[in-house]
């Protein structure tokens, strides 16, 4: 009896594994590669937030990274975005990363769907990189997270059910905070007042993502000709001891992730780099 149960369990386990891989047959798992991203020196030039400012960004070399489906921890998923191009640059005071990836549709206006998004992750304590999977108990990570719907809110005004569905009937008032419990309790992700489409987070492992009290990352994302281009910009150094600091000659690392809203990707369901990439600050 026990042998029969074990055989059934093994068969189900193998079948599940085969089906999971069959969902993305066109996207084989990338090899375990450690990439190097060069952070170019822009001298005294100002770094533009406009991702399509080709006069500036056109001269910055990039690195092409292979992405894969997140299948380390539930909820597993993603893998629909296969490649990501990363450009990085710094001047005397700031550092910036430009992420570019192909996407058939910009998902940022429909409240009934998930939004496109991208993130960059860094070890908080420089050379002690720890785990690239959201950090670990001994190694905190910084995460800069851009979302397309936050970008839309910045450019077109805060989008809620009243703006998205102006003809909707409601038999009670939707003008107070009780209509939005998350905003009422002070959740910054639900605030109607947004100063940046990028939010800074901290994490020490899966399920520990926390809003950083230091919101000092700016950014901008634009969609054009079938691709997203997103800029993340922050000072090279900050007063905070729990934030990544960027200095020449000091080891730095980064990891990257992208979400495709139309495929219902959110949270752990994403396309990401499996290993830390080395940052070489020139």
* Of 264 and 22, more confident: 264
pLDDT value at position 4? 47
Q: Which residue has the higher pLDDT, 270 or 13?
A: 270
Tokens of 239: 């007063």
- Please give the pLDDT value at position 7: 44
Q: Does residue 12 belong to any structural domain of this protein?
A: no
Distance from the Cα of residue 161 to its chain's centroid: 25
Q: Taking residues 20-43, report their average pLDDT.
A: 66
Q: Do the domain assignments include residue 105?
A: yes
Strands (E) in 181-273, as ranges, are: 198-203, 210-211, 218-224, 227-235, 252-259, 271-272
Q: How distant is the alpha carbon of residue 228 from its chain centre?
A: 13
Backbone angles phi, psi at 140, to 5 degrees: -80, 150
Residue 253 domain-assigned?
Answer: yes
pTM greater than the 0.95 cutoff:
no
Q: What is the pLDDT of residue 162?
A: 66
Task: Evaluate whether residue 20 is within a structural domain.
Answer: no
Domain that residue 39 falls in: 29-162+179-281
Question: Tokens 């009937």 appear where?
Answer: 169
Q: Is residue 13 part of a domain?
A: no
Split at pLDDT 50, 70, 90, the class of 186 is: confident
Any domain includes 262: yes
Look at residue 6 and tell me whether its pLDDT is greater than 70.
no
Q: Quick one: pLDDT band at residue 31, thresholds 50, 70, 90?
A: very low
Residue with the larger pLDDT of the pair 33 and 62: 62
Asked, for residue 215, whether it belongs to a domain, the answer is yes
Mean pLDDT across the stretch 16-22?
A: 42
**CATH number of the domain enclosing 65:** 2.60.40.1190
pLDDT on residue 130: 84
Q: Which helix (H) or strand (E) holds 10?
A: helix 2-22
pLDDT of 19: 43
22 domain residue, yes or no? no
Number of domains in the chain: 1
Between 9 and 167, whose confidence is greater?
A: 167
pLDDT surpassing 60 at residue 259: yes
């Amino acid at each position: 009896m026990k042998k029969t149960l074990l055989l059934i369990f093994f068969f189900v386990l193998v079948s599940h594994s085969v089906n999971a891989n069959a969902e993305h047959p066109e996207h084989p798992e990338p090899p375990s590669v450690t990439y190097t991203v060069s952070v170019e020196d822009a001298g005294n030039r100002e770094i533009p937030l406009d991702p399509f400012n080709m006069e500036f960004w056109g001269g910055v070399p990039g690195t092409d990274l292979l992405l894969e489906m997140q299948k380390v921890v539930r909820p597993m998923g993603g893998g629909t975005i296969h490649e990501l191009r990363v450009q990085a640059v710094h001047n005397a005071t700031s550092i910036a990363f430009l992420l570019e990836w192909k996407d058939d549709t910009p998902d940022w206006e429909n409240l009934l769907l998930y939004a496109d998004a991208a993130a960059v992750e860094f070890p908080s304590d420089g050379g002690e990189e720890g785990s690239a999977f959201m950090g670990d108990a001994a190694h905190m990570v910084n995460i800069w997270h851009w979302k397309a719907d936050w970008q839309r809110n910045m450019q077109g005004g805060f989008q809620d059910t009243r703006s998205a569905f102006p003809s909707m009937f409601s038999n009670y008032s939707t003008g107070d905070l009780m209509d939005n419990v998350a905003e009422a309790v002070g959740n910054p992700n639900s605030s109607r007042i947004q100063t940046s489409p990028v939010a800074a987070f901290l994490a020490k492992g899966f399920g520990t993502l926390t809003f950083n009290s230091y919101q000092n990352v700016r950014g901008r994302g634009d969609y054009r000709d079938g691709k997203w281009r997103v800029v993340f910009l922050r000072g090279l150094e900050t007063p905070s001891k729990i934030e990544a600091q960027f200095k020449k000659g000091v080891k730095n690392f980064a990891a990257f992730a992208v979400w495709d809203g139309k495929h219902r990707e959110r949270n752990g369901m994403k396309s990401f780099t499996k290993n830390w990439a080395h940052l070489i600050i020139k």
